[in-house]
A and B are shown apart, each in its own frame.
Chain A
Amino acid sequence: MTQLVRMSGIDKHFPGVHALKSAQFDLVPGEVHALMGENGAGKSTLMKVLSGIYQPDGGTVEVSGESATINGPRAAQALGIGIIHQELALMNDLTVAQNIFIGREPRRSFGRLDEHRLNTDADAIFAQMKVQIDPRAEVRSLSVARQQMVEIAKALSFRSRILIMDEPTAALNEAETNELFAIIRRLKSEGVGVVYISHKMDEIRRISDRVTIMRDGAYVGTVHAADTPIETIISMMVGRDLQSVHVDIPDLTSAPVALEVRGLGRGRAIRDVSFNLKQGEILGFAGLMGAGRTEVARAIFGADPRDSGEIIVHGKSAMIRSPKDAVDAGIGYLSEDRKHFGLALGLDVRANIGMTSLARFSNAVGMLNEAGLEKTAKDYIAKLAIRTPSDRQEVRLLSGGNQQKIVIAKWLLRNCDILIFDEPTRGIDVGAKAEIYRLMQALAADGKAIIVISSELPEVLRLSHRIAVMCEGRLTGILPGGPATSQEEIMRLATVRQSAVEEATA
């Protein structure tokens, strides 16, 4: 059988990151080929190369046996390659049909649009998909599942023979997922090749024929979905080399509980999450993207509303309705997006460290005590070993690791003794990572209670005294830290779906 797609030796560099290392992939007509790997393994990047969004630095791409240069979305469309992005790329203010045919509107003379044909053409595609959606409806008014159908219709309208779906079920419920699979099977029977990127093991088993596994931007292997145990796939994903790291787990049996969360819930994002955190403890939160870890952190911090749940700080129920309430209760949140939510990049180190504690450095009329601020800032620069020419240096000029330390200093100065780190080392180079780890361990030894959310399993394993694993908004288990827990065990908990949990608890 001729191959629809054959990619080999694909290389791609981004500033500071070697995103694809001689990656390979192939696709035959009428198959669903799953692409798996941990967060950051390079799956989406590889598919963005195939769909013309990124240009590879090296390697070859063949489509239907012929060498192809895909230098833009338009070229990909011409080759019959359609992609459905992880974040839906729709124009909410336009109608369904207008979205499907954006860039290829049926025209009459003088650039006038043929709105009637636009709508009938869209109708025809939906009829072929056996889905009923009004082409005239504004996309904004559709559910996420239906918006997804619009994306698929858009891809099909190019007569795509190759359809790439990047985590298509991330926002779908069980029934909607079934609808999607029905459509995928129909496409398959018509000879369309589908690339299916997903984290969900059971879906992969249900829908895909072959599975290609990637790790750290490189190709690991391709297996048949039907006769390969999930354990094998998981161990291919995580690799063996980063296994056991020594973790000093302190004896915390007599340590007081700093934070207790009971029955936290919000819609489908957070479902009945309960756990506690002791003083001096580092609790890791593992899970795949979209598992609800950041949502839990933001709910505890009061940044998002919650439907239910109680938050108990140092034995007292805390009424947390806003970040200010949380900070007053001594909870600090270090966002995964430091640059947006953690720092005022244009201001200097001194101003950033003092940012949340200005009340302490000002008099009755709001005059700032710059001398006091300077002394405090210099103290923290020394204590946390922040590498900066002076406390007047603009924060944007510092490295990621030093920026992270400034955020930590800011919360310490505010007397926060419960610190939630969300992806603390994202965008930080390896050397600085180790330093941040040491700093977090020192803070714990000093009696601070620490939650660390990370998508990098080695990071979770290296830091955590206990590891909480989430999947689809649920806390699916809390594992002991240290060598007793393997990456495989965490991945298994991170991929159990609702049905499995119910069986286990029944």
Chain B
Amino acid sequence: MTTLPVATPARKPASGAQQKLLAFASLIALLMFFSVASPNFLQTSNILAILQATSVNGVLAIAATLVIITGGIDLSVGTLMTFCAVMAGVILTNAGMPLPLGVVGAIAAGAICGTISGTLVAKMKIPPFIATLGMMLILKGLSLVISGTKPIYFNDTPGFSQISTGSLIGKIFPTVPVPNGVLILFIVALVIGYVLNRTVLGRYCFALGSNEEAVRLSGVNTDAWKIAIYALAGSICGIAGLIIASRLNSAQPALGLGYELDAIAAVVIGGTSLAGGRGSILGTMIGALIMAVLLNGLRVMSVAQEWQTVVTGAIIIAAVYADMLRRRRAAA
């Protein structure tokens, strides 16, 4: 009676994997549907357009994923992106500094703002929804104030537009001119995916979202880690700011509001639980792609833009409902 039988491994496959599978299947189904419905859909130029359209939302969604896995929410990712773009404009255009400084400055601005959000949440115990809602408005206002409500153009920094629209891959493989913005998205996804699954910071993301009190009682400085996670999310928003500013060759201070909801939608469609504790970058990427494919496909099929929005909303509800159903089955 001293040896226990081997623990039965999880009866069902890890539930996050199931949702990812479902999301992936939906993506494939959408691709097949649109390629049958419209011959133009599968053309290289259109596929590249879809990826290009995913790049900003995808990067923001990766930032949001980190925070959501901890059981929090970040509503400020959209206006933080804009704020970082404006900071790049200030550094490059208004101050005339060299390009690398602008890049570092934008990302640093994101990290600082993320640190502030994280401190509000971790130290001052302000609920993440409220803290980041406040930050969202503050950053929107600051972007307008700093830029004087006018766009800042990057005409004096010729290399800047290459950040997003140039194509390193195209130089090597001229047939697939994948824009750098898309390349950056994939690099960010790979790096953050690694961080999430293979590093201490990632482990604490899941642990905090799973049972914060237990983590604290295990002697972990939960506040410091939470701030670090928000800061990392903020710096990723800085990267998104660079991508969008580069694509528009300008920092548009009025832009940004609403992006946070698209990002959260992509996260949710990708199977990350808003309750925290589970989620993945792969899922988020699939989620962002589903949204971009849907919008693009409907446009190619000449569905009115108003209806595209309606369909996106319905997809979000369907995705979460499918997740709930699966969860209820798993619990039974």
Contact = CB atoms under 8 A, between A and B. Distances in A.
Interface of A: 53, 72-74, 77, 85, 89-94, 98, 102-103, 105, 107, 110-113, 115, 130-134, 137-138, 140-142, 146, 149, 154, 178-179, 182
The residue in A53, A91, A130, A131 that gathers the most chain B C-beta atoms within 10 A of its C-beta is A91
Interface in B192-234: 198-201, 203, 206-207, 209-211, 213-220
Contact of A73 (B7, B198, B216): B216
Contacts of B200: 105, 107, 111, 113
B235 to A, nearest CB: 16
Contacts of B5: 132
B210 A138 contact: no
Contact of A94 (B6, B198, B206, B220): B206
- Name, among B214, B216, B217, the residue most crowded by chain A CB atoms within 10 Å (CB to CB): B217
Nearest to B209: A93
Contacts of B198: 112-113, 115
Q: How large is the interface on B (under 10, 10 to 19, 20 to 34, 35 or more residues)?
A: 20 to 34
A115 B197 CA distance: 10
Interface in B154-213: 198-201, 203, 206-207, 209-211, 213
Contacts, number: 96
A74 B210 contact: no
Nearest to B195: A111
A91 B11 contact: no
Which interface residue of A93, A105, A110, A182 has the most chain B CB atoms within 10 A?
Answer: A93
Contacts of A149: 4
Contacts of B4: 131-133, 146, 149, 179
B217 A89 contact: yes
Interface string B2-40: 111111111100100000000000000000000000000
A137 B9 contact: yes
23 contacts: A73-B218, A74-B219, A89-B211, A89-B213, A89-B214, A89-B218, A91-B215, A93-B277, A94-B206, A102-B207, A102-B214, A103-B220, A130-B3, A131-B3, A132-B5, A134-B7, A138-B14, A141-B8, A141-B9, A149-B4, A179-B1, A179-B4, A182-B2
Given A73-B217, A112-B199, A178 B7 contact: no
Give the 10 A-B residue pairs with the shortest CB-CB distance, closest first. A74-B219, A91-B210, A89-B214, A141-B10, A93-B277, A103-B220, A93-B210, A73-B219, A133-B7, A103-B218
Interface string B243-281: 000000000000000000000000000000000011000
Given A133-B7, A137-B9, A92 B277 contact: yes
A91 B214 contact: yes
A129 to B, nearest CB: 9
Given A93-B209, A94-B206, A132 B3 contact: yes
Contact of A91 (B9, B201, B207): B207
A92 B10 contact: no
B55 to A, nearest CB: 26
Nearest to B207: A91
Given A89-B211, A91-B207, A91-B211, 20 more contacts: A53-B217, A74-B219, A89-B213, A89-B214, A91-B206, A91-B214, A91-B215, A92-B210, A93-B278, A94-B206, A94-B210, A98-B207, A102-B218, A105-B200, A107-B200, A111-B200, A112-B198, A130-B2, A131-B3, A141-B11
